[in-house]
Structure formats: C-alpha cells, structure tokens
Amino acid sequence: MVSLKAPWRVGVDVGGTFTDMVIADADGRLHVFKVPSVPEDPARGVMNAVGKAAQDLGVDQRIFLENCAFFAHGSTVATNTLLERKGAKVGLVTTEGFRDSLEIRRGIRANPWDHRTPYPEVLVPRYLRRPVAGRLDTHGRELAPVDLDQAREIGARFRAEGVEAVAICLLNAFANPEHERLVADAVAGSWGGDWIALSSAIVPIIGEYERTSTTVVNAYVAPRVVGYLQALERELIDGGLPHRLFMLQSNGGAVSVRQIAERPVNLILSGPAAGVGSMRHFARAAGHDNLISMEIGGTSCDVMLMAEGRIAITDELSVADYDLMIPSVDIHTVGAGGGTIAGVDAAGMLFAGPRGAGARPGPACYGFGGTEPTVTDANLVLGRLKPGAYAGGSVTLDRELASEAVRSRVADPLGLSETEAAAGILRLVEQNLLQAVERISIQRGQNPARFMLVACGGAGPMHGAAVARRLGCRAVYVPRQAGAFCALGMLHSDVRQDFMDVHFQDLDTLADAPVEDRFAALERDASEMLTREGFDPADTATEREVDLRYDGQQWDLRIPIAAGAGAGDIRGAFEREYDRRFGHTVPGGRILITALRVVGKGLMPPLDEAAMPAATDGVRAIDHREAYVDDRHGAMRCAVYHGADLRPGHTLQGPLLIEEATTTIFAGPRDRVEVDPAGNYLIHLDREGDA
Amino acid sequence: MAQGQDKTPEQHQAQGQDMAQGQDGPTKAAKANDPVLLALTQNRLDHISQQMGHVMVRTARSPIFSQAHDFSCFIAGPDGRVTAQADGIPIHTGGGGFAVRAVLRDHGGSIADGDVFLLNDPWQAGGNHLPDWVIARPVFVGGRLVSFVCNRAHQSDIGGGAAGTYNPEATEVWQEGVRLPVLKLVEAGTVRQDLWKLLMLNTRTPDLLEGDLGAMLGSTRIGAEQVAALVEEVGVDTAMDYFDGILAHAASRMSAAIAELPDGVYRGEDRSDNDCFELRDVWVRVSLTIGGGRAKVDFTGTDPQIRGFKNSTLANTHSAVFTAFASFFDPAIPRNEGTFSSLEIVAPEGTIVNATEGAATTMNTVFVAHEIIHAVWRALNQAAPDRACAGWAKNVFGVTSGREIGADGSTGKPYVFYHGLAAAGAGAVEGRDGFNQIGHLCTLGGLTISNVETYERLYPVRFVRQDLRCDGGGAGRWRGGTGADYEVEVMTPALYSFRGEGLRYQTGFGVAGGDWGAAGEMHVQETGSAPELAPKFGLRRLDAGRLSASSPGGGGWGRPEDRPVAEVWRDWRDGLISTEAARDAYAVVFSGDPDDPSSSLDTVDAEATRALRDKRRQTSPSAQGDVGPF
C-alpha cells in the first residue's frame, strides 16, 4: 500500500494502449502507474485508474476523489475522432461564391512529388456546404446584408439531412462577427440542433481556408468529445471530486470542461502538449531554464524546446493532413521510436523509418509475428536491452527473433555483420533524432549546446546521451518517471486561454491608434474567463503579445511585450528576435503589426517533488554485460544497475545501463550519472573524448 | 560509378552522343563501402538542404520566396554534380549542375575560400531563365574545395521591359532584364560593393532584391558551415567517395525503375496555342527510347523557337524532363544528379526547347515546361500504362498590376497580383481523382493558392467567386480535377498581362480511355461595359472592372463507364457533374434533382444505366485520351 498525504493532485493521460496516472501528494511524493486503456469507452479507462489509485492508497474511491485538489486529464479522444473519421455529420455555411475553400485546401500537399496520394476525405461534402448571400469587406464593413431567409432554408435543409453539428465560416468574419452571429441564429431556429461553431469565435484569424478547416474540425469532434467529457466530469463529481475536471489543451495549458466545450478542437494535441508542465517542473528541479525534451515512444519522437523558461507556441498544425490554426505547443514529431522499422531499399541504401511496426506486430523480438527489424530489435542485438520481461512485463523480448530480423533484412543484404547492421540502424536513428532537435532549435536561432536535453518516453533515455553529445550539450536529464512525462506534466500545468485580434497597423503609428483599447478588451475577456474558472485575481496573470513582420513579408514573429510598451521598445524586441533567428535585420525597415494577442493564465502553485531518502552507502551493479557503446568504442563491458537501488547522492561512472520499470537508461564511457535529490538522473556528458 | 556519370549533360548535348556511349565508367562507388556511412551522409545532406530552405522562407522579403516558395536549395560536389536537393520546386530539379559547372569553367583555378558567386544567364552561366538567380558558395576544408552550397531563387524585379520580371512583349533577352555572367559577388568574405550597387541600380525594387539576396547569402552560409562540419568529421577523401556513392545509389534506383519498362521507342507531344504575338500551334515533340535501363529523350522534330518569351533553355528543358521522370516513378527515389545519369536528352538548338542565345525565355519555367512534361509523360504513359498520368490543365491567367487609389483620389503604391485563385484542375492517376484546383504542373502543385481574405487585405480587389466548376473535369474511372469558376473585381485602372494557355484547346489529356478536361474561358469587363473575351496574349490596359475565368479541367484516367455509380452519384449530388454529363460521359442515368435533400442512390435509373454501360463497354475506348490528337 502506498502512503500519501492529502490533498493530492492527479494527472491522467489516456493513450491508445495505456492510461497513465500520476498522483502527487501534499509533500510532493509521487505515485505513478498504468492501467490498460478502454478505447471503446475511454471514461471507463479513467475510472479504472481512479479505482486502482484508491486501492493502492487503501482508501475508499470517494475519499480519494474528495481529496483531489486538482484533477487534470489529457485525452486523445478528439485526435482519434479525427484520425478514425468517427466525427459528426457536419453542415457548413459559407459566403456565396466561396463554397469550396475547404475542399480546394489552397492546393497544399506536404510532398509535391508524391502526387499519387489523394487528399484525405473532405470532412464536409459539397452538398452539405451551403452558401449564403451577404458580404463584408476586409475591414468588416458590410457590402451586402446577409440573406437570413436563405439561412433559414439552409437550417431546414440541415435538419432534413440529419446534420449533427454546424460550422459557419463567412468571408472576412475575422474582422466582424456580426454576419456569422445572424446566420447562426437563423440556422439554429430551423435546424434545431445544439452544436454550432462560428469561425469568428473559434479562431478569428485572417485566411478563410485555415479558419474554415479549423472551425469544421471543431464541429466535427464536438458532439463526440464534449459529451464524453461532460459525462466523465459528472461521474467524477458525483463520486466526490470537489471541483471541476480540467482538460489539457494543445497550448499546453489546462481549461475546464465547460470552457473546452466551446472549442474542443483545442484538445487535438491534448496529450503531448502536457509535456509543457513537465518541462517547467524539470526546469525548477534542474535549475536550468533552457531545456529541450525528446520524448521517444513506440513509433515517434516528440521534440519540444523551452528557451529562458518559455515554450514556443505555433499556430500551424496539421493532423492527418487536416490543417488547423490553433495555438499549439510547437512540437516537432519525427518517425523515430522503438518500433521504427529499418531495412534496405532496392538499391542497397540503409533506411530507418519513418514507418513503424505499431503495437502489433511491434518489434520482431516481441514475438507477435513481426519480421522487420526495429530500433528495439537493434538495441536487443547490441546488448543494450536484455532478453526477457520488458516494459513492465507487458512483453517478453526474444533475442533470437531480433537477430534473425536484423540479419535477414539488413546485415545480409548489406554484407555486414549482425552487430554492424544493428549499430548502423542505431546511428541512423540517432542522426534523425539529432536532426529533429536541430530543426526545432537551430531554425529558431537557438544553439542546442546551451540547452539541457530531457530524455523521456519509454525509449528516450536509451538514446539521450548519444544525441546530446553530438549536439554539444553538457548534460542530459532523465526523469525517473520518464515513461509518464505527459501525465506528470498535467500536475504542473497552469490554466491558460489565448485571445487574439487581427489588427493591421504600421508599428510607427502605434501611438495614433486605439491599440491600448483593443488590448484592454482582450484582457477583459481573459479576466472574465479566469473568474469563471474560479481563480482569485491574485492568482492570475495576463501577458500581451504582438505579431509583427517587416512590411512585404508573409511570416510573423510573435513578440511578448509589456503593457504600455512604446513603438521603440517593440521595434527593439522585434529586431533582437529577428536577428537571432535570421542573422540580419533591416535597419529602419517598416514594421507591420498583424495581430494583438493576450494570454490569460490561472496560476497553479508550484509543486516540488519530495526529496527521496538519500543514499546511505554505495550501490552495486546487479550485473555486467557486453553492450554496444558507439561507433568509436564498439562494444564494452557495461555495468547494469537496478533503478530501485539508486538513491540521491549516488554517482555512477559509465559505461552503464540503468534498468527502470518502464525504461532503460544508457550512459557512455566516462559519462557520469548523478542521482538528484528527487531521485531523477543527471547524466554529465564526457565531451573531451569526443574530439 | 553509375553509367554515364563521367559525362555532364552539357557534354552529352554538345557531342550529341548516342546512348551507348558514356557508360561503364569505373565504379567509384566501390570506395564508399560502408553502407551505414553512406546512409548517414545522404540523410545529413538532405537535412542540410532542407534547413537552408527553411532559412530562405523565413528571411526573404519578397512574397515570391516566402509565399510562392519559388526557389530551391542544393548541394553540389567539387565537380559541380548536384548531390542533394531535398528542398525546392520541381522545375528547378536538375538545373543546378549547369550553374555550378559554369562557375568551375569560368573561375576553376582561382576559387578561394570566402568567395561567393552569383549568376543567371542561360547561355553564359548555366541559368534557366533570367529571374532565377543562383548563389553558389564554395566550401573549403583543409584548403581543398569540397562542395558548392547553392540556391536558385526567383527575384522580384531585375529590370527589363516590364516590372516584375515577366515582359510578355519581349522578343529578346535584353528586354527581360539584366544578364549576369558568373560574378564573384563576395570576394574573400567581403561583398563587392561596386557590383552590389550595379545590381541594385538594375532593379525597380532594390529593397526587395537586397533583402532576398541577403536571405540567399545567409542560407548558403548556414548550409556551408554544416557541410564543412560533415566533411571534417569523416575526412575529405572519405567524404568525396561518399558524395559519389550517393550519386551512384540514386543512379541505380532510377536505372532499375527504367529497366522495368519494355524496351522500345515511344512518342509524345503537346502544344502551346500561341507564340505570344499570334495564335498558332507550337509543338513539343518527344521520341523516347528505352533500353538497357537507360532512356533517351530526343526532341528532334520540335518546332523552332518562337518570337515570344515561352522559349526554353537547356537547363530548363533538362529540369522539365527530370520533373516528368521523377514524378512518374516512385517519389522515394532520391532526386540528385545521379538520378538522371541514366537519361540522355537531345534538344536541338534553335527549337523551342533549346533557344539560341538572345531569345526571350522568361516564361519557360511554366510554359514550355508544361508542354515538355506533358510530352514526356505521354511517351512514358505508353511504356507503363499502370503508372500513366493524365494531363494537368494549363493555367489561363496572368497578372494584373496597377496603383492603389487613396480615399482622396490620390495615387498610392503600386501592386501586382496573380490570379492564382483561378488555378486549373490536375489530371487523374489510377487511385485518385485529379486535384480540383492546384498550382502549376511545373511545381507539381507545390505552389500554394492564396486565401481570398489575404488578397483583399493586400490589394485593391474584391472577389466575387471561386467555386468549383461543373463538368470541367475529364471523365474517367478516376475523374480529372474540375477547375473553378472565378471572378474578381479590380477597383483601380490596371495593366493586365495575358500569357496563359488553355483557352483555345483542352489541355488536360485523358489516359487509359479517360477523357480530356474542359477548355478554359476568360473574360474581362470594364465597369459599365459588356464583358468581352480576354486576349490570349499581350498587354491590355483596362479601367476598373472585372476579370472572370472558368479554369480548365484535368484529364481522366480509365474508361468513364467503369467509374462506380456511387462515385458518379456523389459528384452529381455535389454539383460537379450535370445530369447530362452523367448520362453522356459516364453512362449513368439519374432521375430527380441532385439538390433534393432526400436524394439517394435510388435516384439512379439502374436499368437504363446498366443498359447504357453495357453498350458503351462493347465499343472501343474513345478516340480521345492518350492516343490523340497527333
């Protein structure tokens, strides 16, 4: 039985296979576990986790819930609804003459050369996209009144067609929501349904394709997602939870179910974005606010960057080729995980990824019938993983199957030994991981050597040291709970909502225009939201940002600004950021404001992890085995430690492997591993020997 | 080394070799004998060229870079052969080597660390057309030249007879802008200010040119640092072997793909419908010889060069052929200069695919590139019908330029905009319908269509419609892209430049029994006057008014009567095909109103449809499609 001190915070991350729960008690002690997900009824999976938590704590389920100070949930339910095309039948109202932007998609295709792959199915077929007369100009002035009789007819048609949710996206509505509101009222009257999404409310950005696409996805997922969340919240509150259920959004912040019900599209990165909370937490724990996280799971690696304590937010997101413009944590994902498949192409070139073996058959060594070698197979062949029970005992690794796959699919075709082939797979995958980190850092004008790498996810700690060394980093941080990175992050998430206003103006005329009034209006919206969420004004914060560009450019930089900042201050901040990213500026160049933004935050008090009892004596390796280290050292005899034996104060010398319940940590020769007061691992990298 | 690697395309051209020559060089690739290092090197070079592209997009000042992405980044070996080009528009693929080899030819012995070269001329410096400027930055490691890190990018204005680089009245290159031989723009790390000023004097938009050249220099600097780090890490000799190994691998993959085609001679052709001054057919003709894993693309029989600016240059013609081949086969085949070493291209001088020095050529990356890709596809389609690509319709539109008018009637700043929202439909392939609206074929659709709202914010225009067209797509088992009905109100007097294609003829050919897509239509109308047919070439100055177009449709793939009834019904209900077209083209008979909410598959007259389809199947495929009109 686990002994925890009330009240506690709870984070639940529902993934495709497992549901992770992390509980942190009043003293910062953690209890972390997994239960199987229930894909056909995700709420069941959450309640099963609650039941197990109560059992582990030896308390009644009601007592467990009554003592929750904060209950946060990350869910893939919105993402899966989209990926599996299980969303609602949506009707879309557009401006007459512009019925098809959703289907034309601006002609965007990720890879032009691959012209044989069709677009994903359009979420609203043309017969359900209905045009309405009426027109606004680019400044939101009415050119022609909206035809409400037509809107009512559209509503009646939607009723006849059995439409479950309606999206409304009219031209230039970002500048004036009035026409959309009128249409919504008229359609609602004759349609009779509940779910109406207005583009001017969901995402008031300029650009009708992206605005329509985002609003449609919102309508598409809403009836499925919101119903689920409301039912779950009701069940939790009826069961004793003394407050609302909080959901993790794509922007890395939490928000109540009531708020998310208006914009469920913001849940699309709900799980991975929760890593933001973990980053903030580790930044405090490691005393380092420049962090890059590399979370490697079975099929992919998510990379996120925190510079001086700030996590970059992007508005461009594509999920299964559906384009969304919602504020999202800037996560770069590459197909490089434990299950990533390697092989040799028709002309003898080694490849690794992006295809993965998935949960079934998974890596060849799982024995579920996979015959293609994966990264996990390579690690097993190289002695970095040991045969037998793996991933908390959920699978058993068979070395012979791994060898056979590596030999037949890579070693033999290339004329390499089995070890050389497996090492080649690792080197190629690690180069892809390195490049993923470079992409997100160097292209933002950040030097990765100044960052500490946080290696997490089940497979991250195996590759963290090698990637960090090549990046020039000094250290790698490996949370003991590496496998529950996102669930852990939920405990450390502020409540957050983003507000924006499209506003074009020459920066130099800042003083002449009512920018201050517009910021104040956005801040009012933010404060109202936070009050509704139950925050005392003392526990809230608002931040202002402006989107800026040099006149003539098409891309904006988002610059945080202080209230009352003048044009000169803003120009200075813009030029510093521009120079850092792009290596030059345009002295005196005309700078255009394109949008004003306010971030509203409800602040959660920091929660420090409890210190773990310190080591009282040395620790002994439980084993030694030959394992591949890197291309310079080849295989070496590595000490193997049992994670549960390691305590704060222990310092270990590489090469070594640490076996934790859900991950294996690798450190190279002359690397030094230190266990920090909270029991997490800090790998100090040897860089001398890397010349 | 792969076959033919020891000959550059120019040498093939100059010597007019036949295919048997230039093969069986010593296999240098044998030296790149660590397959892991080979994979790591290729993967790294691709990543570097992509990073360079990202820097370009984010730093460029003109929308041509940042919005239209009209540039490419590439990395060449010390001999000028392009090793990596992971980022860039298709019509630049394959042209890069011409530029680097021109640098080597002119400065071979004296290239020093810290130099950077600039060029654009198609005849003197390996350019494709004048607006695309190339920056080539040599990379030295340990005093040895190991690479050139380059980009090629379309500039916003380079002087010449019309603003914005496209002069539709040009009949010679001097009317199109400034010609640059291989210039040493940066010498020993210092920009040559005299040269820089010369360039800035020869553009109408020096602020844009300055910003964009800065982006090009910055992007190649970042790329060069990373290439140098890579070469230092593995050692110069090893790196050179592996650069060769990368080319050999790509060569072997393309050669294997070609070897799967039956040996033989296949023909294809396509035409432009005007020479920019009068309506006449100008043909591109290809004879494609497949044999022994090699392909010879012979343009003999192609029409002579024309007066106007739709003439191709050697680099552009090579790029167009490469685009046709690369898009025809597996997109996973790398695209470097090795890929195309199994191709031989014969482009007789003085024809529209290899115009003589001094010809007007600016439009060539779009038209005649489109015709070249079509002609090559049509030849390849016969060799591999299962991979056949139907024709992508040609864009009918040009650009409109004018000056904004202030609220007080004063003249404001100049503007230029493309009617890209009138983009045409793509052709079908087996497994997908044609994209309904997509960017130019020479970009394989990579050129993104703007949002109406963005254009209304930037220019004095108001859009009236951009709706999918009914019955525009070529019928087929897989339907061609249908195109759009487009209309825009231009609120100032403006100059209209007409240089599209696809108004006189259908341009999206069908394949495997599929039909041609519809031809385009375009009208202009001054406020208060009646609409009139838009000119097919040349310039027109018009008062405030409207331009409207029905963009042409792409070709279909396979016989229309084989399209499942449910898919025909879906298009009919969606208003993309009419009741008449459903019956006449697809042999599906509907009763009722497609817009009726109760419409279901029951509206199909099953018996009449079956009878009509059976009858249609007994006749031979239509005379249209891939066999005509020759």
For A133-185, what is each residue's pLDDT tens digit?
999 999 999 999 999 999 999 999 999 999 999 999 999 999 999 999 999 99
Report the residue from B443, B454, B463 with minimal CB separation from A112: B443
Q: Is B39 on the interface with A (CB under 8 A)?
A: yes
Of B515, B550, B585, the residue that ends a domain is B550
| Inter-chain residue contact A104 with B484, CB threshold 8 Å | yes
Q: Is residue B10 part of a domain?
A: no
Q: Are residues B265 and B206 in the same domain?
A: no
| Inter-chain residue contact A100 with B429, CB threshold 8 Å | no
* pLDDT (0 to 100) of residue A592: 92
Min Cα–Cα distance to chain A from B180, Å: 26
Chain B interface test: which of A106, A427, A586 (most B C-beta within 10 Å): A106
Tell me which residue of B166, B131, B156 sits closest to B66, measured CA to CA.
B156
| Inter-chain residue contact B36 with A428, CB threshold 8 Å | yes
Chain A residues lying within 8 Å of B256, measured CB to CB: 346-347
Q: Model confidence at B626, in pLDDT bands (50, 70, 90)?
A: very low
Provide ipTM, 2 decimals: 0.91
Of B244, B276, B308, the residue that ends a domain is B244
Domain A1-75 has CATH 3.30.420.40: yes
* pLDDT (0 to 100) of residue B67: 63
Ramachandran sector of residue A207 (left: φ over 0; alpha: ψ -120 to 50; beta: rest): left
Which residue type sits at B222?
A: I
Strands A142-144 and B532-533: unpaired
Tell me which residue of B537, B481, B98 sits closest to B317, measured CA to CA.
B98
* pLDDT (0 to 100) of residue B20: 33
> Residue B273's beta-bridge partner residues?
none
Q: Are residues B295 and B410 in the same domain?
A: yes
* pLDDT (0 to 100) of residue A609: 79
* pLDDT (0 to 100) of residue B630: 30
- Containing structural domain, residue B354: 261-550
Q: Are residues B402 and B265 in the same domain?
A: yes
Q: Where are the domains of chain A?
A: 1-75, 85-225, 495-602, 623-678
Chain B interface test: which of A94, A115, A314, A418 (most B C-beta within 10 Å): A115
Residue A411 DSSP label: I
Count of beta carbons in the 10 Å neighbourhood of residue B79: 18
Q: Are residues B601 and B527 in the same domain?
A: no
**Residues A128, A130, A136, A138, Cα dihedral to 10°:** 40
pLDDT at B29 over 70: no
- pLDDT < 70: residue spans in chain A: 583, 687-691
| Inter-chain residue contact A107 with B67, CB threshold 8 Å | no
Strands A452-456 and A291-296: parallel
Beta carbons of A429 and A437 less than 8 angstroms apart: no
Q: Is A323 on the interface with B (CB under 8 A)?
A: no
Q: Are residues B620 and B536 in the same domain?
A: no
* pLDDT (0 to 100) of residue B3: 37
Beta carbons of B330 and B254 less than 8 angstroms apart: no
Q: CB contacts < 8 Å between A and B, how many?
A: 203
| Inter-chain residue contact B598 with A583, CB threshold 8 Å | no
Give the integer Cα–Cα distance in Å for A493 and A276: 7
| Inter-chain residue contact B40 with A107, CB threshold 8 Å | no
Report the residue from B218, B449, B454 with minimal CB separation from A104: B449
Report the residue from A96, A103, A106 with minimal CB separation from B451: A106
Q: Are residues B78 and B41 in the same domain?
A: yes
Q: Are residues B162 and B295 in the same domain?
A: no
Chain B residues lying within 8 Å of A344, measured CB to CB: 35
Domain A495-602 has CATH 3.30.1490: yes
Cis peptide before A669 (omega within 30 of 0): no
* pLDDT (0 to 100) of residue A394: 76
Q: Are residues B570 and B435 in the same domain?
A: no
Ramachandran angles phi, psi of B525, nearest 5°: -155, 120
> Residue A344's beta-bridge partner residues?
A350
pTM of the predicted structure, to 2 decimals: 0.92
Give the integer Cα–Cα distance in Å for A684 and A678: 17
Chain A interface test: which of B50, B453, B600, B601 (most A C-beta within 10 Å): B453
pLDDT at B9 over 60: no
Q: Is A119 on the interface with B (CB under 8 A)?
A: yes
Chain B interface test: which of A109, A174, A349 (most B C-beta within 10 Å): A349
- Range among A508-512, B63-67, B611-615 rated most confident: B611-615
Mean pLDDT of the region B63-67: 66
Q: Is residue B110 part of a domain?
A: yes
Give the integer Cα–Cα distance in Å for A180 and A182: 5
* pLDDT (0 to 100) of residue B411: 86
* pLDDT (0 to 100) of residue A691: 37
Min Cα–Cα distance to chain B from A327, Å: 19
Sign of the CA dihedral with B159 first, then B165, B168, and B170 last: positive
Lowest mean pLDDT across A212-216, B219-223, B412-416: B412-416
Strands A90-95 and A165-168: parallel
* pLDDT (0 to 100) of residue B8: 53
Q: Is A691 on the interface with B (CB under 8 A)?
A: no
Report the residue from B214, B436, B597 with minimal CB separation from A104: B436
Beta carbons of B561 and B617 less than 8 angstroms apart: yes
Q: Are residues B452 and B306 in the same domain?
A: yes
Q: Are residues B414 and B449 in the same domain?
A: yes
pLDDT at B10 over 70: no
Q: Are residues B115 and B235 in the same domain?
A: yes
Task: Retrieve residue A480's tokens.
Answer: 């003991």
Q: Is A133 on the interface with B (CB under 8 A)?
A: no
DSSP string covering B395-461:
P---EEEEEEE-TTS-EEEEEEEE-GGG--PPPPBTTBPPPSS---GGGTT-SPPPPHHHHHHHSSE
Min Cα–Cα distance to chain A from B257, Å: 10
Min Cα–Cα distance to chain B from A410, Å: 10
Q: Model confidence at B93, in pLDDT bands (50, 70, 90)?
A: confident
| Inter-chain residue contact A438 with B51, CB threshold 8 Å | yes
Q: Is residue B25 part of a domain?
A: no
Q: Model confidence at B629, in pLDDT bands (50, 70, 90)?
A: very low
* pLDDT (0 to 100) of residue B464: 98
| Inter-chain residue contact B435 with A119, CB threshold 8 Å | yes
pLDDT at B407 over 90: no
Q: Is A31 on the interface with B (CB under 8 A)?
A: no
Chain A residues lying within 8 Å of B225, measured CB to CB: none
Min Cα–Cα distance to chain A from B276, Å: 28
Q: Is B575 on the interface with A (CB under 8 A)?
A: yes
**Which residues 507-566 of A are in CB contact (within 8 Å) with B?**
550, 552-555
Q: Are residues B70 and B211 in the same domain?
A: yes
Q: Count structural domains, chain B.
A: 3
Min Cα–Cα distance to chain A from B357, Å: 32
Q: Is B202 on the interface with A (CB under 8 A)?
A: no
Q: Is residue B462 part of a domain?
A: yes
Q: Is residue B30 part of a domain?
A: no
